[in-house]
Amino acid sequence: MRLTTLPLLLVTTGTLMAVACGSDGDDGKQGGNQISGGSGGSSASGGNGGSSADGGTSANGGSAADSFGGSIHIDAGGSGGSGGLNPDSGCASESVSGDRVPANMLFVIDRSGSMKCNPPPTQDSNQCESRPEKLNPAINSKWEDTRLALEAALEQLSAQPNISVGVNMFPRDSQCAVTGTPNIQVNPLDATQLAGIKAFFGTVDPAGRTPLAGASILSYGHLLNQLRAGNLPGNKFIVLITDGFETCAPSELDKLVNVDVPNATSLNFRTFVIGAPGSEGARSLLSQIAKAGGTAASSSCVADPGGNPEVGDCHFDLTNVSTPQDFADQLSQALEQISGSVLTCEFDIPRSPTGGEVDLNKVNVKVTPDGQTPIDLEKDTANCETTANGWQYNAEGTKIVLCGAACDTAKEPGSSVQIVLGCPSVIK
């Protein structure tokens, strides 16, 4: 598959600091064809309309609904230099503080019967559909490989601060039951949460059909309800993993792709999609979800709803594997790339020491690699995903984002980042 180049998952032990110029401091259930869920607003923005990521959904047309340590510490006072920046009489001298943007991830995972099968070529999709169990008991099933890859990825993520993770499996029974209430609620990924997820994975026994639409719609609804309740501050991500096509309520797919996923994206919920072997006939669908979910592999990727259902390359397509180990390796790589994307170099702009708004023209950023000389970063307004190397504001001017090699350096163990307020920005 074609994968977007994203920052690798790196464990960071440094602290994020900012200094003033002149300082020293450096749910629902589906039975038959009916999905039911909680009641609530009827649009992802909470307005009135016919469909929504919040609440229930009906197959018969009913309505539905970076990596730095801890917080930013900003030190001030003293008479040290500004590390190459040119302060003026407007430089600040009081302490201010801010917080790094947290990341909340909800894994929505397919546990349908076909996940019991061996990955290709040991067992191809047709064999699996006719007999959904291991052909070779000595080789891992798709679920066993998925579990191992997820546990390894979560182990790495657990070393990072400000990461919360939850799990929602589908179906919840041996047929088509779905709910928006996660099996494991989204909570900080500390040792207790990680142990709980691993223990839960150990109880999973694949069975049932593939209610992909209902599970996704209700998972969005759960995150929307959390947003409305003021929970899970920061960025929110859905990671959908499936090995098949919707087999319970295909009539809900249009609403999922054209209403719920775009509504979620408008609320800054990004959706990553991983298609395991068995999802060949759903490439177009899964690519449409990834594209509408803001995670397309490239701007030129194909996700044509009117085209061949087996054509689509906007998602993580793991169907073209040559060995069972190839599937395990590709899945691990996909999860690593997703982790790298979630762990962005993004954080809130510190509050002004005077209590007013920060002068965005008088902000500078520098990064200090472990044990090395501080590096003054230039403000670079080029495309952060491709050519920029420095820092810039996000589109809303509410956050500072490090780009390119500057982001990679800031993520290295022992690195620290400083935000300098009150000094004219150095622009590339």
Question: What confidence score (pLDDT) does residue 33 get?
Answer: 34
Question: What confidence score (pLDDT) does residue 341 get?
Answer: 82
Are 314 and 380 in the same domain? no
43, amino acid identity: S
Question: What confidence score (pLDDT) does residue 414 get?
Answer: 64
Question: Which residue ranges in the chain fall short of pLDDT 70?
Answer: 1-100, 353-355, 413-414
What mean pLDDT, rounded, does the chain reach?
A: 79
User: Is residue 32 a part of any domain in this protein?
Assistant: no
How many other CB atoms sit within 10 Å of the CB of residue 10?
19
- The structure tokens listed for 132 are 């959904």
The whole-angstrom separation of Cα 344 and Cα 411 is: 9
Question: What confidence score (pLDDT) does residue 365 get?
Answer: 87
Are 294 and 309 in the same domain? yes
Are 320 and 271 in the same domain? yes
User: Is residue 225 a part of any domain in this protein?
Assistant: yes
Are 179 and 79 in the same domain? no
Are 304 and 361 in the same domain? no
How far is residue 78 CA from its own chain's centroid?
A: 40
**Contacts of residue 12, Cβ cutoff 8 Å, sequence gap at least 6:** 67, 68, 69, 160, 410, 411, 412, 413, 415
User: Is residue 220 a part of any domain in this protein?
Assistant: yes
Are 175 and 315 in the same domain? yes
Domain boundary among 288, 318, 342: 342
- Structural domain of 159: 103-342
The whole-angstrom separation of Cα 284 and Cα 172 is: 26
User: Is residue 62 a part of any domain in this protein?
Assistant: no
Nearest to 212 by CA among 242, 172, 174, 182: 242
The whole-angstrom separation of Cα 222 and Cα 247 is: 22
User: Is residue 45 a part of any domain in this protein?
Assistant: no
Are 177 and 82 in the same domain? no
- The structure tokens listed for 127 are 């064999």
pTM: 0.71
Domain boundary among 326, 342, 358: 342
Domain boundary among 315, 342, 369: 342
Nearest to 65 by CA among 179, 176, 197: 179
User: Is residue 54 a part of any domain in this protein?
Assistant: no
Question: What confidence score (pLDDT) does residue 353 get?
Answer: 66
Are 112 and 178 in the same domain? yes
Are 166 and 231 in the same domain? yes
Question: What confidence score (pLDDT) does residue 71 get?
Answer: 30
**Domains contained in the chain, number:** 2
Question: What confidence score (pLDDT) does residue 230 get?
Answer: 92
How many other CB atoms sit within 10 Å of the CB of residue 203?
7
289, amino acid identity: I
Are 146 and 286 in the same domain? yes
Question: What confidence score (pLDDT) does residue 85 get?
Answer: 53
Question: What confidence score (pLDDT) does residue 417 get?
Answer: 76
Question: What confidence score (pLDDT) does residue 339 get?
Answer: 87
How far is residue 114 CA from its own chain's centroid?
A: 26
